[in-house]
Chain A
Amino acid sequence: MSGCRAPRPAWGLLLALLALGELPQAQGTEEVPGDAHGDVQGFQVVTFRWHHVQDPYIIALWILVASLAKIGFHLSHKVTSVVPESALLIVLGLVLGGIVWAADHIASFTLTPTLFFFYLLPPIVLDAGYFMPNRLFFGNLGTILLYAVIGTVWNAAATGLSLYGVFLSGLMGDLDIGLLDFLLFGSLIAAVDPVAVLAVFEEVHVNEVLFIIVFGESLLNDAVTVVLYNVFESFVTLGGDKVTGVDCVKGLVSFFVVSLGGTLVGVVFAFLLSLVTRFTKHVRTIEPGFVFVLSYLSYLTSEMLSLSAILAITFCGICCQKYVKANISEQSATTVRYTMKMLASGAETIIFMFLGISAVDPLIWKWNTAFVLLTLVFISVYRVIGVVLQTWILNRYRMVQLEIIDQVVMSYGGLRGAVAFALVVLLDENKVKEKNLFVSTTLIVIFFTVIVQGLTIKPLVQWLKVKRSEQREPKLNEKLHGRAFDHILSAIEDISGQIGHNYLRDKWSNFDRKFLSKILMRRSAQKSRDRILNVFHELNLKDAISYVAEGERRGSLAFIRSPSTDNMVNVDFSTPRPSTVEASISYLLRENVSAVRLDMQSLEQRRQSIRDTEDMVTHHTLQQYLYKPRQEYKHLYSRHELTADEHEKQDKEVFHRTMRKRLESFKSAKLGLHPHKKGAKLYKRERAQKRRNSSIPNGKLPMGSSLQDFTIKERDLELLDPEEAASYDAEDMSGGIEFLANITQDTATDSPSGIDNPVFSPDEDPSILSRAPPWLSPGEAVVPSQRARVQIPHSPGNFHRLAPFRLSCKSVDSFVLADGSEEQPRAAPAESTHM
């Protein structure tokens, strides 16, 4: 096995540890005196008390082994990119199990249902719920439910009945088994497993809709599995002939009770959890603990009430995530994130390893070729049929159609896992006579789906997508515009409201804003709960800081740009320039280095002309620094990886620019009202903005002082007032004129997105502004700014929309009000924001 070769260095260590764990246990207590320095009688200075620590010690060792194995796997990138980790872990488990068994001759470590259901499964499911992309999940809830409920029932019934049919034909030989046993087996083998599905799908990159459907299905079908399993188990206990119609109806009722009850328990605990975290301000250190304890309690509670525990903890995670994230401190949030990932990832590792180990036990193996093979065939075939049929129905109602390739992946991604195994182990041997056959078949099915399908699903996806025609270097235009198209598309999607359910979502968010958030969120969190508002807060802080040092900054930036390097690409990179401005220069150098490296590679393929080299640099720069469209960077749920910071950075950058431009263009609209006073107004604007910016930290840092901030805001508005500004006319015409030249031509070319004020965007090169576009004569200069004025609505509300971003407490409603009272004096909307 290639997987075992790679982590060679780790192996010696693993074996040593195993020996440590196993030998003492095998030989029992005889070893004790050996280590005790011979002083058997009397007081022992040191005693070797293996039994005292045995259980926790072994558990800790197993965890260590599994974790080390994980390190080992990832030493070789080649292996993990081909073989899914879950498959590697199963194989490792098989090997370790073999070793243990060879040493011990008893299979002492198996995946017991208690261990699995109480300790290993909850963290995984909680993690899935807590990091669930809610929007996507609820957007596809209907589809998910159909697959989870109807699909699972179909799989269970069809598999069970078909197996029974084949059994009746006599192909399986002589088995002590009845129809109900087959249905029981069908019900436990039917469910797609959340652990296995995630483990494999995470490594195969499929589109988000497909991912959420398969993932959601695997989580939600638990209720169906539990009910089917319980119903058939009790039927088996009762005996086939005593089952009445009433029992069947009861079974149906119990399905709704189990699923809805489980969900309800989850929601109730999510509510409690959110409420509790609202008041943890003074006990920050135990904040994260609440998240885990309360979610776990939801799991146990619904288990106690024999409801669907998986649904409970899933919905607990889903429902609480928003409020908890808003309530707890940033450090606690980070702690929760990492802890959750660690627990889930660890549990998954252990599950797969134990699955392997559990298989090494001759006692459980009972082979029946026909039964095993037919089970494999049936579950695959019925999965395909189920998916195709349901998709056909769904596609008539869905906005986003599921295409053939999606259906193939869905059918093929129906992996079975540890849930099935734990359920089958739970069976009572006295009632289900062929338990061992079921157990072995389940193991085979799990191994087959996880290893074989897991191995092949990635090549399959790639093969199906191989529509890529010719392999050529895209032209610059294609690259740039292609990316622009991506952005356009995602913007249009946002405007057109992507996937349906908007009406419901609007209703919900209204309800959430009016009632839920008020109860469940801290005051401070309510204000800044909008992520965008958060970003804006931070940006403002940053701005304020950076503008303080603006003068220096501009100087240093000018330094970098002015002596330059007319064309970056022609600079001699090999000799590091003596830099006085460390950070900035090193920036350039770093870029250059990477560009050079890229060139070196490309030289082999491309002609060695300067032109090409420059081309490469250009392409490279574009490739590296073009903003990524939303679809590409937006991460889905991942069990092993935490959010990449990159896209947050990008969001911030773009958001910063957008807001700055909107503000500028709004202001320029105001300025346009009185073109003749332009210079003075610009001066005003500059001053006002400086004041505003410097006032922000004071206004914002203390939580309660938004009012104060607001008054400052108001004064800024007044300063912008044309009447008042007139008094500055004489003062600063000279400064204004230069400014005017820049502004007007920029308004001309860029009016929709506003002005690039060089003063306030030190990162952008002012030089570009001073270069007049050829078609612009000074005479025309004023006109565009009037256009800008027309485009931007002149209303106090408009300004409020931008300004109160940082001080709004009740979000957009206030803007709506402000907007409605367009012609009213400024004071009126001002108060409305403080309702």
Chain B
Amino acid sequence: MGSRSSHAARIPDVDSIRRETGFSQASLLRLYHRFQALDRNEKGYLSRMDLQQIGALAVNPLGDRIIESFFPDGSMRVDFPGFVRVLAHFRPVDDEDEGNRDPKEPEPLNSRMNKLRFAFQLYDLDRDGKISRLEMLQVLRLMVGVQVTEEQLESIADRTVQEADEDGDGAVSFLEFAKSLEKMNIEQKMSIRILK
């Protein structure tokens, strides 16, 4: 695996990455090491296979979908900035961010809406901005045990869509999705403490 300096300076574009993601220097360095460790043959980018090697993901029902989310628009590789950008969604929301934020700048990646959007696009496979009944069903099928029959699944999917669907188009738009979860503490639930 070669020698690794422990200097953040080795990360290309470290400053712009920091600005975009809000990660601390130490976290970036750690993630960079992680990135290198995942990059099995020092290609400088990660392929799907690199991520699929992570054993725990194979037993995560949504593991493959999350892997996909690292490869937007069918690209084959993800470089370090792209890698960190995805992870930045899970940075905890801290108060300083809110206070110091320049209103002109785009919302930080770890805002509530962006966290939700990340989740939403895991459901919305065809990228039409809506979770259709079928898409809901597919996620459900991933997430429940084999004991549940297809009929039950379909019924659950129907209900779930109906419950969130306000305009009656039989699909859940992003706004409806966000609305159905408005009581949930997304900021806390979709944050990882170690990603500072």
Binding site for B on A (CB under 8 A): 399-401, 475-478, 480-500, 502-503, 506-507, 510, 530-532, 560-561, 564-569, 587-588, 591, 614-615, 618, 621-622, 625-627, 630, 650-651, 653-655, 657-659, 661-662, 748-754, 763-765, 767-768, 771, 773-775, 787, 790-793, 797-798, 801, 812, 815-816, 819-820
B37 within 8 A of A: yes
| B180, A491: Cβ atoms closer than 8 Å | no
Could you pull out 15 A-B pairs where Cβ atoms are within 8 angstroms?
A: A400-B193, A477-B163, A482-B184, A487-B143, A492-B192, A497-B34, A531-B55, A591-B147, A626-B145, A650-B59, A653-B145, A753-B65, A753-B142, A793-B48, A797-B49
A751–B137 Cα distance when bound, in Å, is 15
| A502, B60: Cβ atoms closer than 8 Å | no
| A478, B90: Cβ atoms closer than 8 Å | no
What are the 3 closest A-B residue pairs judged by CB atoms, nearest first? A765-B150, A752-B68, A477-B180
**Per-position contact with A for B58-98: 1 when CB-CB < 8 Å, else 0?**
11111111101011001010000000000100100000000
**17 new A-B pairs (CB below 8 Å) besides A480-B160, A506-B1, A775-B126?**
A400-B193, A476-B156, A487-B60, A487-B61, A494-B54, A495-B38, A495-B87, A496-B194, A496-B195, A497-B34, A503-B33, A568-B149, A651-B59, A658-B57, A658-B58, A754-B64, A775-B128
A400–B70 Cα distance when bound, in Å, is 25
A653–B141 Cα distance when bound, in Å, is 12
| A749, B135: Cβ atoms closer than 8 Å | yes
Report the minimum CB–CB distance from B191 to chain A (whole Å).
8
B47 within 8 A of A: yes
Binding site for A on B (CB under 8 A): 1, 4, 30-31, 33-34, 37-38, 40-41, 47-49, 51-66, 68, 70-71, 74, 76, 87, 90, 118-119, 122, 125-126, 128, 132, 134-135, 137-152, 154-156, 159-160, 163-164, 177, 180-181, 183-184, 186, 189-190, 192-195
Chain A positions within 8 Å of B68 at CB level = 752-753, 791
* Given the contacts A753-B64, A820-B41, A489 and B90 also touching, CB distance less than 8 Å: yes
Residue picked from A488, A591, A754, most chain B C-beta under 10 Å = A488
A435–B49 Cα distance when bound, in Å, is 66
A476–B122 Cα distance when bound, in Å, is 18
| A752, B150: Cβ atoms closer than 8 Å | no
Residue picked from B63, B74, B146, B186, most chain A C-beta under 10 Å = B63
| B37, A502: Cβ atoms closer than 8 Å | yes
A653–B148 Cα distance when bound, in Å, is 13
| B184, A625: Cβ atoms closer than 8 Å | no
A399–B30 Cα distance when bound, in Å, is 10
Chain A positions within 8 Å of B125 at CB level = 749-752
Chain B positions within 8 Å of A771 at CB level = 134
| A627, B144: Cβ atoms closer than 8 Å | yes
Main secondary structure of the interface of A (DSSP, over half): helix
A753–B69 Cα distance when bound, in Å, is 11
Closest chain A residue to B196, Cβ basis: A399
| A654, B90: Cβ atoms closer than 8 Å | no
A657–B140 Cα distance when bound, in Å, is 13
Chain B positions within 8 Å of A565 at CB level = 151
| B146, A752: Cβ atoms closer than 8 Å | no
* Given the contacts A498-B194, A502-B34, A618-B155, A630 and B163 also touching, CB distance less than 8 Å: no
Chain B positions within 8 Å of A487 at CB level = 60-63, 143
| A767, B190: Cβ atoms closer than 8 Å | no
* Given the contacts A476-B156, A483-B143, A587-B147, A495 and B57 also touching, CB distance less than 8 Å: yes
| B60, A491: Cβ atoms closer than 8 Å | yes
Chain A positions within 8 Å of B52 at CB level = 662, 801
| B155, A569: Cβ atoms closer than 8 Å | yes
Report the minimum CB–CB distance from A308 to chain B (whole Å).
32
Closest chain B residue to A506, Cβ basis: B37
Residue picked from A489, A492, A650, A659, most chain B C-beta under 10 Å = A492
| A481, B181: Cβ atoms closer than 8 Å | yes
Chain A positions within 8 Å of B64 at CB level = 658, 661-662, 752-754
* Given the contacts A622-B156, A753-B65, A812-B40, A566 and B60 also touching, CB distance less than 8 Å: no
| A502, B33: Cβ atoms closer than 8 Å | yes
Chain B positions within 8 Å of A400 at CB level = 193-194
* Given the contacts A506-B37, A618-B156, A764-B141, A801 and B150 also touching, CB distance less than 8 Å: no
| B66, A626: Cβ atoms closer than 8 Å | no
| B60, A480: Cβ atoms closer than 8 Å | no
Closest chain B residue to A209, Cβ basis: B193
Closest chain B residue to A595, Cβ basis: B152
| B57, A480: Cβ atoms closer than 8 Å | no
A503–B183 Cα distance when bound, in Å, is 40
Report the minimum CB–CB distance from A148 to chain B (whole Å).
23
Residue of A651, A748, A750, A767 near B150 (CB, 8 A) is A767
Residue of A401, A768, A790 near B193 (CB, 8 A) is A401
Chain A positions within 8 Å of B159 at CB level = 476, 614-615, 618
| A793, B192: Cβ atoms closer than 8 Å | no
| A484, B143: Cβ atoms closer than 8 Å | yes
Chain A positions within 8 Å of B74 at CB level = 787, 790-791
Report the minimum CB–CB distance from B104 to chain A (whole Å).
29
Closest chain A residue to B64, Cβ basis: A753
Chain A positions within 8 Å of B134 at CB level = 749, 768, 771, 773
Residue picked from B87, B90, B143, B177, most chain A C-beta under 10 Å = B143
Chain B positions within 8 Å of A815 at CB level = 40, 49, 53
Closest chain A residue to B59, Cβ basis: A651
A460–B184 Cα distance when bound, in Å, is 26
Chain A positions within 8 Å of B41 at CB level = 816, 819-820
